[in-house]
Amino acid sequence: MESLTLTDVEQKYYSDLFVYCDTDNTKKVASNGKVLDLFRAAQLPSDVVLQITELCGATRLGHFGRSQFYIALKLIAVAQSGLPLRVESLNSVKDLPLPRFVVAKNEQEARHTAMYPDLENQGPYQGVIPRPPARGQVKKVSPDTTSPVVSPHHSPPTSPHAWRKHKRQASGGNVERPPVVVAGAVWTPFRESQSGPVVAGDGMWSAHSPPPVQESWVSLKDTYPPSSSKLPPMHLSPVQENSSIRTVASVATANEIQRQSSSGYDDPWKITDEQRQYYINQFKTIQPDLNGFIPGSAAKEFFTKSKLPILELSHIWELSDFDKDGALTLDEFCAAFHLVVARKNGYDLPEKLPESLMPKLIDLDDSAEVPDQAPDVGYSGSPVEVTPNKSPMPSLNQTWPDLNQGNEDTAIVHPVPIRMTPSKIHMQEMELKRTGSGKMASPYDKSLCCLGCRSNSGTSPEGLKVVAAPPPPPPRPNASHSRSSSLDMNRNFAAHPTGPQQSGVVACPPAIPPRPLPTQTSGPHSGHRSDEGLAAHSTTSPQQIPEQPNFADFSQFQAFAASDQPNDDGEKHPESLPAKGSIMAPPPKPVRRRLKSEDELQDEALPPKSNVIATVLATLPSIPRSVGKDKKAIQASIRRNKETNTVLARLNSELQQQLKDLLEERISLEVQLEQLRPFSHL
Amino acid sequence: MAVCIAVIAKENYPLYIRSVPIQNELKFHYTVHTSLDVVEEKISAVGKAMADQRELYLGLLYPTEDYKVYGYVTNSKVKFVIVVDSSNTSLRDNEIRSMFRKLHNSFTDVMCNPFYNPGDTIQSKAFDSMVTAMMVQAS
């Protein structure tokens, strides 16, 4: 055997390679298969390889002992550097670069690769030398055979770009990769997983995908990293990088690489096609409809199988449930799954959801927050949709301007649909409504009630910049109905009470308007105390009054006129009125009370008149309700009010006249009585 | 800017309590505990009116010479208590309300997490960060 002198670096490197090939762990002999693989990876023509094996004496021995192996490696280096293969060259060639080996990468390896970059300080060699992990490391790692998840506990690996990118130095993105290099970890799983000939040309996932479904997360793990671990601790010189990459047979890796070569620095959290497909399949097992949701409980069971601690699962959930609805869409599920897988492989969970994992959201637009993982945002050709930047913490600290603007643009007054999930805007709206209804209730001025109501409703949404449901659109008063029959009014009125109830989240003004009525009616009432009992008069006058939303009164008048019964005014009044709704109930009460006192004083004809008047006046406060929406409505209602005023004034004067007449009558009657009675008190 | 924020479960044990001056924490624990009495009193004061009519924000529970304690109850009887420094007079009622609203929303998010068992202490980082944002920056 030729003597061989190796530099320290070479020595270490070769010993590592030897260990790598020493799958039987004999420490003496490298297994042929591995060695041959290795040699093939050296990218040398096969006859050269043959020659090398012959030269190093393996063919003689039939196996690769350590020294043979070392010689072979040296010869490979020689061959790679273009020198003729000679035994003498073994020792004579100085400054021989280390032999270089290319292996088919799969993307998994790429993810896990961490060999080279930190090793710039390794030596004079221009090619980045994969720092041969110390033996000790390997040994330390090797006993840990249970879970391949021994990879360095640092940020996720970059994809094959690391292969290319590591020019001379550590790739910037993978700074955290400590010198405790994956190599050691990689070897272990590699050693364990004899699964499949993961030789160049084997698509990573495709070989193992879909891993045995659902249940065993462990099995998933087993297959997941081993495909990555295919990477032997080799390195590429920058010069040869591109060419070697291109020689990789695996289509998928080539795609991957090309994708990365085009996109520059890659997002380590990106989900590849194969992974996504796998996730989608898993999603289907839980929820066949891809557009549907996975409820929280099902997701919990599923992810609990991964045997991650609950705290981490909880954190993963927080990151991935983007809309905080307690259920996972397909995108959210993929993100969660991806995070779990990454966590299982030892990568720390990010604080915020990485961009590439964010689910697509269409209508929400937020200020962007760049995730700490990927410095570059512009990916081209990424299969995973990169969404518009969203703050990873979507809960309330966001404003959703689109939602607001969309509502404000439509100047239509309508109840605003409320999101069922809690949101800042939602809460604001709720608050608004709570305060808004309070505001509207308070200033209830007789003259300004309509305007005041409107202005309040106008200001509150504007002031707060959030569309609160404006007061429910009041029923439109139809001027055409001013002389209409009671049927219309009945129907209108029947429609009316349901109106305010339907229209709103706010239980606002419908109940409120009657409140000022007692004050209102008390005023006019003092004026109109006299009802001369001119039933005909009374029936016509209210009808002259422009129709008010409170049609109850008219129908009551009609009924009253039809019956022409002043008698049971007292009964009729409470009967008819309550029938018209609770709104009218409060106002008539004071009227009724006064009526009763009046009954004692005056003719029976009078009270009905006062009833009429009361009910007419009771219609007034409904005016504010009628004033809903815009200036025209206000003006129309102003006009109506004016008309009402004039009508009432006329009514007033007429009633005054009647009062005078009645008083005269009364006096004359009393005189007569007096004359007739003088004998009674004798 | 609160000095201490606490979330108390229906059964009156704390789900989350965080105070800013880390020393003296015990004092705040005690304060929060005593404020529970006032909370109970306010809840029961509504009487036969059901929870819909009872407002969630309870307002100032009681002031001491050093600080003021505000309370908020959810419909599931989970209580939020905020202790603010009395010297910080600039805090208006609306601000306290908004702080409670944020707390409530974050709490809802925590609840939505299927991995959170109601009754556990709250360990969500999102909740933590939200609370920290609301706390006084200790000099």
Alpha carbon separation from A234 to A38, A50, A167, A230, A644 (Å, rounded): 10, 21, 15, 11, 97
CA B133 – CA B2 distance, rounded (Å):
10
- Cα angle A363, A367, A370 (rounded to 5 degrees) comes to 115
Q: B128 lies in a domain? A: yes
Mutation site for A-interface testing, chosen from B54, B105, B132 by largest number of A Cβ within 10 Å: B105
Tell me which chain A residues have a C-beta less than 8 angstroms from the C-beta of B114.
296-297, 299-300, 317, 326
Q: A232 lies in a domain? A: no
Q: For residue A552, what pLDDT band results from cuts at 50, 70 and 90?
A: very low
Residue A564 DSSP class: T
Q: Which of A83-97, A305-319, A603-617 has the highest mean pLDDT?
A: A305-319
Q: Which residues neighbour A400 within 8 Å (Cβ) at sequence distance 6 or greater?
A: A364, A365, A366, A423, A424, A425
- Rounded mean pLDDT, B26-47: 84
CB-nearest partner of A318 from B101, B108, B124: B124
Q: CB of A568 within 8 A of CB of A607?
A: no
Interface contact B72, partner A, CB < 8 A? no
Q: Domain containing A3 — which CATH number?
A: 1.10.238.10
**Host domain of residue B130:** 2-134
Element (H, E) at B131: helix B125-134
Interface contact B131, partner A, CB < 8 A? no
Would the CB atoms of B115 and A326 count as touching at under 8 Å?
no
> Is the pTM above the cut of 0.80?
no
pLDDT > 80? residue A384: no
Q: For residue A82, what pLDDT band results from cuts at 50, 70 and 90?
A: confident
Q: CB of A604 within 8 A of CB of A531?
A: no
Q: B96 lies in a domain? A: yes
Q: Which of A125-139, A586-600, B80-94, B104-118 has the highest mean pLDDT?
A: B104-118
pLDDT > 60? residue A537: no
Average pLDDT of chain B, as a whole number? 83
Q: For residue A237, what pLDDT band results from cuts at 50, 70 and 90?
A: very low
Mutation site for A-interface testing, chosen from B109, B117, B123 by largest number of A Cβ within 10 Å: B109
Q: For residue A145, what pLDDT band results from cuts at 50, 70 and 90?
A: very low
Q: CB of A324 within 8 A of CB of A293?
A: no
Q: For residue B87, what pLDDT band results from cuts at 50, 70 and 90?
A: confident
Q: Which of A95-104, A274-283, B45-54 has the highest mean pLDDT?
A: A274-283
Counting the structural domains of chain B, the total is: 1
Q: Domain containing B74 — which CATH number?
A: 3.30.450.70
Q: CB of A162 within 8 A of CB of A110?
A: yes
Interface contact B35, partner A, CB < 8 A? no
Q: CB of A587 within 8 A of CB of A518?
A: yes
pLDDT of residue A121: 42
- Rounded mean pLDDT, A512-516: 48
Q: B106 lies in a domain? A: yes
Chains A, B: CB pairs < 8 Å: 58
- Rounded mean pLDDT, A21-50: 71
Tell me which chain A residues have a C-beta less than 8 angstroms from the C-beta of B105.
395-396, 422-424, 427
- Other CB atoms within a 10 A radius of the CB of residue A634 amount to 15
CA A284 – CA A340 distance, rounded (Å):
18
Mutation site for B-interface testing, chosen from A317, A399, A419, A426 by largest number of B Cβ within 10 Å: A317
Q: A61 lies in a domain? A: yes
H runs (alpha helix) in A305-400: 310-320, 330-344
> Which two three-digit tokens encode residue A555?
């129908």
Tell me which chain B residues have a C-beta less than 8 angstroms from the C-beta of A311.
123
pLDDT of residue A660: 94
> Which two three-digit tokens encode residue A88?
């003498």
**Number of residues that make up chain A:** 682
Query: Which range among A85-89, A346-350, A606-610 shows the weakest confidence by mean pLDDT?
Result: A606-610
Burial of A178 (0-12, 13-18, 19+ CB in 10 A): exposed
> Which of residues A318, A345, A372 is at a domain's end?
A345
Would the CB atoms of A315 and B102 count as touching at under 8 Å?
no
Counting the structural domains of chain A, the total is: 2
pLDDT of residue A663: 94
Q: Which residues neighbour A553 within 8 Å (Cβ) at sequence distance 6 or greater?
A: A542, A580, A584, A615, A616, A618, A619
pLDDT of residue A370: 40
pLDDT > 50? residue A257: no
Would the CB atoms of B109 and A395 count as touching at under 8 Å?
yes
> Which of residues A59, A86, A107 is at a domain's end?
A107
Interface contact B138, partner A, CB < 8 A? no
pLDDT of residue A127: 40
Pick the more confident residue, A668 or A69.
Answer: A668
Task: Give the closest-approach CA distance of A527 to chain B in angstroms.
Answer: 41
**% of chain A surpassing 70 pLDDT:** 30
Q: A67 lies in a domain? A: yes
> Which two three-digit tokens encode residue A117?
């970059």
* Residue keyed to tokens 């065993």: A216
Q: For residue A476, what pLDDT band results from cuts at 50, 70 and 90?
A: low
Would the CB atoms of A321 and B112 count as touching at under 8 Å?
yes
* Residue keyed to tokens 């004034």: A649
Task: Give the closest-approach CA distance of B112 to chain A in angstroms.
Answer: 5
**Number of residues that make up chain B:** 139
pLDDT of residue A662: 94
CA A9 – CA A13 distance, rounded (Å):
6
Q: B139 lies in a domain? A: no
- How high is the ipTM of this complex? 0.83
- Rounded mean pLDDT, A38-42: 75
The answer, yes or no, to whether the previous bond of A375 is cis (omega within 30 of 0) is no
- Rounded mean pLDDT, B111-138: 84
pLDDT > 80? residue A630: yes
**% of chain A surpassing 90 pLDDT:** 6
Binding-site residues on chain A for chain B (CB distance < 8 A): 296-297, 299-300, 303, 310-311, 313-315, 317-318, 321, 324-326, 351, 393, 395-397, 422-424, 427, 431
> Which of residues A60, A84, A107 is at a domain's end?
A107
pLDDT of residue A216: 42
Would the CB atoms of A324 and B130 count as touching at under 8 Å?
no
Tell me which chain A residues have a C-beta less than 8 angstroms from the C-beta of B101.
427, 431
Would the CB atoms of A397 and B108 count as touching at under 8 Å?
no
Q: Which residues neighbour A540 within 8 Å (Cβ) at sequence distance 6 or greater?
A: none
**Host domain of residue A4:** 1-107
pLDDT > 90? residue A668: yes
